[in-house]
Structure 1
Amino acid sequence: MTKYYALLASLLLANTSGWAQSYQRTSQGLKASLETFDVEIRFYSPQIVRVLKTPKGGPPRLASLSVIKEPQATALTLASTDSTVTLTSQALRVRLGLRRGNVAIDQAAGAPLLHETRAAIRFRPNQGPDAGTYAVRQAFRLAPDEVIYGLGQQQNGKLNQRGQRVRLAQHNTSVAIPFFQSAKGYGIFWDNYSPTTFADTLQETSFASEVGRAADYYVLYGGTTDGVVAQLRELTGQAPLMPLWVYGFSQSRERYKTQVELVDVVKRYRALGVPLDGIVQDWQYWGKDDNWNAMSFDPATFPRPQQMVDSVHLLKAHLFIVAWPGFAPKTPQYQEFASKNMLLNFDTWPPGANTKPYDVYNPAARAIYWRYLNKGIFSLGPDAWWLDSTEPDHINEKPTDFDQPTHLGTYRSVQNAFPLQHVRGVYEHQRATSEAKRVMLLTRSAFAGQQRYGSNTWSGDVGSSFETLKKQVPAALNFSLTGLPYWNADIGGFFAGSFKKDGGAKNPAFQELYVRWMQFATFTPMMRSHGTDIPREIYQFGQRGDWAFDVQEQFINLRYRLLPYLYGTAWQVTSHGGSIMRPLAAAFGRDRASLDQSGEFLFGQSFLVAPVTEAGTKTKSVYLPAGATWYDFWTGQRLTGGQTVARACPIELLPVYVRAGAIVPWGPKVQYAGEKKWDHLEIRVYPGANGEFTLYEDEGDSYRYEKGARSEITFRWDDAKRQLTIQNRQGSFPGMLARRTFRLALAGPQNGAGVAPAKVVKAVSYASKQLVVKL
């Protein structure tokens, strides 16, 4: 019969003769010894506390793969009774029960946050390859009406994850991250990399992992969803800034079969005058499947790869190249990895090719992977990587596949960290090779901490349907709420075969779906068209004058006009732990109706977006949160928050609202992100509340911004005085504008509506010194 370690022991205070055991004060918290396990409570900051429970005689806990923060000196007060010891920081109060070892975490002032249940912890010894480790379960008690977010990216169509039972294991379209945060202002990261079941019932909320050396979790207090995300970045790493061009529009297809075909796509966009910044080369540029992922170009279809890269650059575009974690036996990579016992022995994509993934957990294997990628591809000068199958694909899955050893233990024990370690290898080695280009990694999966490696995760090979589109909104928000700011999806969905027989891109039903999806993508961190079955280039849908072409062009142009706003928002992500896609609760947590709005989101600080996710929609109900005044982006109509409005939404319109107090820089019309300098920006002010926005600029690429090569210009609007202050410019970089003109406009029903040029109230010349302007 399997033995269980339960919380049945008592703990003795060091100065109390009635107990059999003791606790010990440490520099960052305390350690306590119970009969069957030890407990450590360690503060990493006043807002972050770690709880670690280790079975007696168990193996030591390995260093975290996700957490990089070192504990900082934190002022703590300690109080104790016969049954409880309490540690209090400036933000948190942590109580340890000395009989069962239960932990309760509250705000320092006493408001309850997260409490373990009475039968909180369970360790069950594993057998076989994982012998010496445990199946670990930890349970908590949440308030009955508490709203929680997170768990990575789940395609369940829900924003609030209460009442869910989810097996957290990486799969195509499902990103598994054992983290949730509460609308009460705290988050919990369960630091475990094995498949883990999250379960929430009326009685308890729990994490149960298949393999662990300890129960190890962090509680982070941020006060708001934004605050929790900022604390999680503090714990697991900040997100570097993407190149400016990445925030533009990228085109892809499964797949471009020759280098001529790929370059021709860029040429056609330039000839049409439709903006484009990225072009993606998907799989099989290496030839047949028996040469899968050789990281070299097939001479028959890509005879002059350097010429291809150079041609894309001459057209002022940027090139993604795909790379996979698995290799076919014919490749030199496979042979070297096999000779060094660095392959995982299970089948990955494509079927029938006997392709095996390399051991991403081994730093020596990651170095070998980069050596081939650098020599075969990066030396040609591409701009970004598409790291496909980063979960990875697992074909013909067998239970014994998970028993095999990796550099860090059985595959089962570290399965969910596969994407984290794989992208880490590419990021770290590219940065060590050259910092001339910022690392951009388009990945299909992620884990906690992956944001620090230049990762932008897409939602996987999802189907082409309005039902799937609807699920992308809460999936993206929950992903963002796990601390990962960069997310995107294949515009139109990947699998579009159901529309192919009826005309493909000329099928009106697919055109409607694709256009509505593109409208949504305009307000996501990356705007990228991709899919199989039906080519998605804009000219496949018709020509100017055809509605499916015209609406796409309108929203691609809108994306580029918003680049100064989006780049400034991205800088807040990097510098202040911010997010691009945010739930309404991020800014309106006191408005109960905002907490579970799964069909709307905030884009940065200023925009509220309500994607159209049902076919044939003519009118959409949109909730405008209480606590703010809102402007209809398209008409300038001013509306009071705290109400649901019925917004007409013909095919050319997506419901978008702007918060009063917003300051939105409006960029020039361009064909690519770096075509024009921002020397004549229109600055739209939405009166009705005070507001602030920081215009951020740098060289657009390279990591010199980390060393100070950047500038910030902060705009502040005083609504009572009708006064805009443009503050002194902070910082500088080579090629920066020394003087510029800002065209100032007040938005409203008669001005600044939609994409039409606003009527300028004042044009001011700015030479980096503070200006105060009455409007």
Structure 2
Amino acid sequence: MKKEILFLAALATCLSSFGQTFEKTAQGGKFQTAQPTLNGEVIFYSPSIVRIVKYPSAEMPEKKSYPVIKTPEKVEISYKQNGNTVCMTSGKMTVTLDVVTGKVTYTDQKGETLLKEKVEGTNFIPRKDVNRDAFTVSQAFSLEPEEAIYGLGQRQSGAMNHRNQQIHLSNGNTNICIPYFTSEKGYGVYWDNPGISDFSDTPYATSFSSQVGLCSDYYFLYKDGTQDGVIACIRDLTGKATMFPLWTMGYWQCRERYKSPDELCGVLDKYRKLQIPLDGIVQDWQYWGCDSNWNAMKFVNPRYINKMDDKEALRYLPNGEDKNARYPKPRFKSPEEMVEYVHKNNAHLMISVWASFGPWTDQFKELDKMGALLKFETWPPKSGAHPYDPFNKDARDLYWRYLSHLHKMNIDAWWTDSTEPDHLNPKESDFDLMTADGSFRSVHNAFPLNHNRGIYEHQRAVSDDKRVFQMTRSGYLGQQHYGALSWSGDVVSSWDVLRQQIPAGLNYTLCGIPFWNTDLGGFFGWEYNNDCTNVAYQELHVRWFQWGCFMPLMRNHCSSPMMNEIDLFGKEGDWAYDAQKRIIELRYRLLPYIYSLDGAVVQEDGTMMRPLVMDFANDRKAILLDDEYMFGKNILVCPVTEPLYTKKIEGNKGVTTVPDVAKASAPVKVYLPKGSQWIDFWTNETVAGGQEIQRECPVDILPLYIKAGSILPLGPKVQYATEKKWDNLDICVYPGANGEFVLYEDEFDNYNYEKGMFSTIKFSWDDASRTLTISDRNGEFPKMLKRRNFRITLMQPGKQSAETVMVKADKKVAYSGKNLVVKL
């Protein structure tokens, strides 16, 4: 210890003699450079997370980080001087600081360079941020020429790899902007500035720049060289993901919009009658009435409260609806009856709530008095509505006070729409509007995080009996910690846009946020005349729908006047109807697998939609693909992204290009990553990896391949997620390699899992001995299945696929929580 103190004292003396200084701190070090003169700090938050802050002021500026909730832990750091450089080594990486220039270089435990800053790569240009002195701040890095990088939120560029791109980081509908990128090398960089920013990658530099800031502030994350490792670092820094209820992983029916309780409940009735599984149904906007009453968070629309003959109530009728229209006597007299009916029919209700308010609402009036409205034009146009200020704690409290009315009605989930927020006809001066935390320009991209966090924390304070579920149109780093799932916004129904959503979602999940989805079929159907009977649209919709089976949330949606309920596509025996019903039933078959993925997300920092760089980092072809991914670590998904059996003609009309779509079969190109054998899900045939194949693809299936060694737990045929207990699960083993899978279970909807009330059962397959070991059950929870059967099948050619309950399993075993060994 004395030697280390003497060394550091000598180091400080040596370095300070040249006009620069370095001082050891408990978490790293403070430094001052000579040319240019900058102050800075290296702060280890853990062995795998280090923060670098640089600033031209004498002291570190006060600064709020919205996503970062971790405080620095005690880290063992060793120091070494080499000329003007200081090396700080934790258990995971070495950070080398050039004290003359301030340049920082990162290396792994083997001494291999991971990332380095550019010389003189930190820049400050003085400017005003409204009335305060600030800077335009930038930080530049040097990457390897062929190094692939990902992340940056959800983009609509169609690119998986973000090299050679210029990206403006300002949240908007369909684009979620997160100033974070991650490398194929397994490191990540989070630029901790929530304001309007830019990302740039050229052959000369990779950089972030922000319009306003007081310091350069970023986090470097590196654990073990894998994407799973760097995502674990993100969750450590910004908060663990939360569990969603089991029912949310079933099928959702949604469109813009159901205009009365009778209409919404009638759709639920139709699905139940047709025996099409369903768990979620959605009430979109305007249940509150007209645009001036936007987002009142209560049912004021006279059609919902049975007041179409009340002149005072009719003033709230949504814009464009006929006050003189007459409707049949309503079946449901109140929204409370609607909610109760949905629940009695074993479904759940999500309702639209926005981050803005119309001028007739009580919220608007109170927020206006508080000075907590951002007075720029938002949706709906020319309505006088304005977003509120989610950076204002009192405004967040007010938001929940009004939302709690719907919570007390037992609404199950929140559709937090327009959380960018919508910004119509933007003016430069709009970004100078002040929030509670500074100019809108300086905090813009953290708007959705603060908004959803406010709802989550308030609901958690009321009760832990029901898990918070928010589907939100925007996002920011750390959103996984607040019960929120993003969707890709109001996208157009087209084949090009369908394909773009795949890398958009995959890059978003690489930002550490595991929950994402897209409007199945697209939102705007104008390229198909908003006609769901258009056969060209039907093929697009079916393919988008099939992809939805392998997202964290499977939700049908569209914009009026398009309609999208399955029965509108035909009837049993019609290909567009049959294909959708078939894939919904497969979704429910997969629920034990999917819910276990959700459990791994929470307990092991896992990821559900896994870009191929996560599992095949050494396969160069795989990591650059933008149209395939792993759903969990076992299922390779290749969505079909081009028409095979229909086409559009003049007037956006659709025609078939084959005599019978239901009987047609055309090939689809699929790449099977190297390093594994792959089993065709539909045929059980084994195919070698490391090759591109052509897979025949009728309209009712998409290419699915199971990684050799996989073990899939699959459930019974049901009409809703909790209809039947999981006491007779099929366990389907795909041979060709060793493998394991952990079945996760809990009470399906509360927060008792945070207290350790859940169970796991590990299944291990030894391929050489053809032996499946079912380990002792770990953990317990109320009403846990203590005895159950497992129906085990070795999936081989000639046997039925795992799509439906196995007619004849190879072995059936009774399991009571104790270790079992099964020979197949």
Instruction: Using structure 1 for the length normalisation, give the TM-score.
Output: 0.97
The answer to which of 129-138 and 317-326 deviates more is 129-138
Alignment pair present for 1:516 and 2:517? no
Which residue of 2 is the match for residue 471 of structure 1? 500
Which residue of 1 is the match for residue 714 of structure 2? 666
Partners of 2:699 and 2:386 lie apart in 1 by 46
Partners of 2:446 and 2:291 lie apart in 1 by 27
Partners of 1:705 and 1:433 lie apart in 2 by 18
- For 1:274, the aligned partner's letter is I
Which residue of 2 is the match for residue 352 of structure 1? 382
Partners of 1:343 and 1:672 lie apart in 2 by 42
Does the aligned pair in 1 maintain the 2:39–2:58 contact within 8 Å?
no
Which residue of 1 is the match for residue 365 of structure 2? 335
Alignment pair present for 1:440 and 2:469? yes
Does the aligned pair in 1 maintain the 2:586–2:804 contact within 8 Å?
no
- For 1:693, the aligned partner's letter is F
Partners of 2:800 and 2:442 lie apart in 1 by 55
Give 3-state SS (helix, strand or coil) of 1:14's partner. helix
Alignment pair present for 1:423 and 2:424? no
The answer to which of 384-393 and 296-305 deviates more is 296-305
Which residue of 1 is the match for residue 631 of structure 2? 603
Give 3-state SS (helix, strand or coil) of 1:694's partner. strand
- For 2:538, the aligned partner's letter is Q
Aligned residue-pair number: 762
Give 3-state SS (helix, strand or coil) of 2:130's partner. helix
Report the Cα offset of residue 224 of structure 1: 1.1
Match of 1:553 among 571, 581, 591: 581
Report the Cα offset of residue 18 of structure 1: 3.6
Report the Cα offset of residue 524 of structure 1: 0.6
Partners of 2:214 and 2:115 lie apart in 1 by 23
Partners of 1:436 and 1:89 lie apart in 2 by 41
Alignment pair present for 1:749 and 2:797? yes
Give 3-state SS (helix, strand or coil) of 2:532's partner. helix
After superposition, the Cα gap between the structure-2 partners of 1:326 and 1:554, relative to the gap in structure 1 and judged at 3 Å, is same
Partners of 2:11 and 2:211 lie apart in 1 by 32
After superposition, the Cα gap between the structure-2 partners of 1:88 and 1:540, relative to the gap in structure 1 and judged at 3 Å, is same
Which residue of 1 is the match for residue 728 of structure 2? 680
After superposition, the Cα gap between the structure-2 partners of 1:391 and 1:706, relative to the gap in structure 1 and judged at 3 Å, is same
Partners of 2:802 and 2:495 lie apart in 1 by 25
Matches within 5 A, 1:369-408: 369-375=399-405, 377-408=406-437
Which residue of 1 is the match for residue 197 of structure 2? 196
Match of 1:506 among 527, 530, 533: 533
Report the Cα offset of residue 177 of structure 1: 0.1
Report the Cα offset of residue 131 of structure 1: 3.0
Report the Cα offset of residue 58 of structure 1: 7.0
Which residue of 2 is the match for residue 766 of structure 1? 815
Report the Cα offset of residue 592 of structure 1: 1.5
Which residue of 2 is the match for residue 361 of structure 1? 391
Does the aligned pair in 1 maintain the 2:286–2:301 contact within 8 Å?
no
| Deviation by residue 1:236-280 (Cα, 9 ceiling, x = unmatched) | 111100000001100101000001111111111111100000000
Alignment pair present for 1:207 and 2:237? no
Instruction: Using structure 2 for the length normalisation, give the TM-score.
Output: 0.91
Alignment pair present for 1:312 and 2:342? yes
Which residue of 1 is the match for residue 648 of structure 2? none
Matches within 5 A, 1:98-109: 98-109=99-110
After superposition, the Cα gap between the structure-2 partners of 1:334 and 1:605, relative to the gap in structure 1 and judged at 3 Å, is same
Which residue of 1 is the match for residue 251 of structure 2? 249
Does the aligned pair in 2 maintain the 1:195–1:415 contact within 8 Å?
yes
After superposition, the Cα gap between the structure-2 partners of 1:291 and 1:681, relative to the gap in structure 1 and judged at 3 Å, is same
Which residue of 2 is the match for residue 22 of structure 1? 21
Give 3-state SS (helix, strand or coil) of 1:265's partner. helix
Report the Cα offset of residue 212 of structure 1: 1.1
Matches within 5 A, 1:140-219: 140-219=141-220
Give 3-state SS (helix, strand or coil) of 2:189's partner. strand
Report the Cα offset of residue 299 of structure 1: 5.4
Which residue of 2 is the match for residue 582 of structure 1? 610
- For 2:29, the aligned partner's letter is L
Return 5+ residue gaps in structure 1 as ranges.
Answer: 1-10
Report the Cα offset of residue 752 of structure 1: 4.7
Report the Cα offset of residue 404 of structure 1: 1.2
Partners of 1:145 and 1:626 lie apart in 2 by 20
Partners of 2:220 and 2:678 lie apart in 1 by 35
Does the aligned pair in 1 maintain the 2:85–2:99 contact within 8 Å?
yes
After superposition, the Cα gap between the structure-2 partners of 1:233 and 1:628, relative to the gap in structure 1 and judged at 3 Å, is same
Does the aligned pair in 2 maintain the 1:12–1:20 contact within 8 Å?
no
Report the Cα offset of residue 537 of structure 1: 0.9
| Deviation by residue 1:303-332 (Cα, 9 ceiling, x = unmatched) | 211111100000000000110011111110
Which residue of 2 is the match for residue 562 of structure 1? 590
Partners of 1:513 and 1:571 lie apart in 2 by 32
Give 3-state SS (helix, strand or coil) of 1:397's partner. coil
Does the aligned pair in 2 maintain the 1:491–1:521 contact within 8 Å?
yes
Partners of 2:59 and 2:532 lie apart in 1 by 59
Matches within 5 A, 1:271-286: 271-286=273-288
Does the aligned pair in 2 maintain the 1:12–1:18 contact within 8 Å?
no
- For 1:265, the aligned partner's letter is V
Partners of 2:787 and 2:299 lie apart in 1 by 47
RMSD: 1.3
Report the Cα offset of residue 756 of structure 1: 4.1
Partners of 1:340 and 1:491 lie apart in 2 by 40
- For 2:94, the aligned partner's letter is R
Partners of 2:453 and 2:28 lie apart in 1 by 32
| Deviation by residue 1:564-598 (Cα, 9 ceiling, x = unmatched) | 00000110101111100011111111111211011
Partners of 2:144 and 2:723 lie apart in 1 by 53
The answer to which of 713-722 and 51-60 deviates more is 51-60
The answer to which of 410-419 and 430-439 deviates more is 430-439
Amino-acid identity (%): 49
Match of 1:710 among 733, 758, 761: 758
Which residue of 2 is the match for residue 221 of structure 1? 222
Partners of 1:757 and 1:750 lie apart in 2 by 16
Report the Cα offset of residue 15 of structure 1: 3.5
Does the aligned pair in 1 maintain the 2:419–2:451 contact within 8 Å?
yes
Alignment pair present for 1:693 and 2:694? no
Give 3-state SS (helix, strand or coil) of 2:740's partner. strand
| Deviation by residue 1:501-536 (Cα, 9 ceiling, x = unmatched) | 6xx111101100000000111001100001113111
The answer to which of 184-193 and 12-21 deviates more is 12-21
Give 3-state SS (helix, strand or coil) of 1:126's partner. strand
- For 2:345, the aligned partner's letter is L
- For 2:424, the aligned partner's letter is I
Which residue of 1 is the match for residue 242 of structure 2? 240
Does the aligned pair in 2 maintain the 1:76–1:87 contact within 8 Å?
yes
| Deviation by residue 1:55-91 (Cα, 9 ceiling, x = unmatched) | 2247713131111111111111101133111101111
- For 2:368, the aligned partner's letter is A
Return 5+ residue gaps in structure 2 as ranges.
Answer: 1-9, 306-333, 646-665
Matches within 5 A, 1:725-744: 725-744=773-792
Which residue of 1 is the match for residue 355 of structure 2? 325
Report the Cα offset of residue 108 of structure 1: 2.5
Which residue of 2 is the match for residue 64 of structure 1? 65
| Deviation by residue 1:147-185 (Cα, 9 ceiling, x = unmatched) | 101000000001111111100110000000000100011
Give 3-state SS (helix, strand or coil) of 2:580's partner. helix
Does the aligned pair in 2 maintain the 1:275–1:556 contact within 8 Å?
yes
Does the aligned pair in 2 maintain the 1:682–1:742 contact within 8 Å?
yes
- For 1:565, the aligned partner's letter is Y
Partners of 1:627 and 1:128 lie apart in 2 by 53
Partners of 2:195 and 2:59 lie apart in 1 by 17
Partners of 2:16 and 2:433 lie apart in 1 by 49
Report the Cα offset of residue 20 of structure 1: 2.1
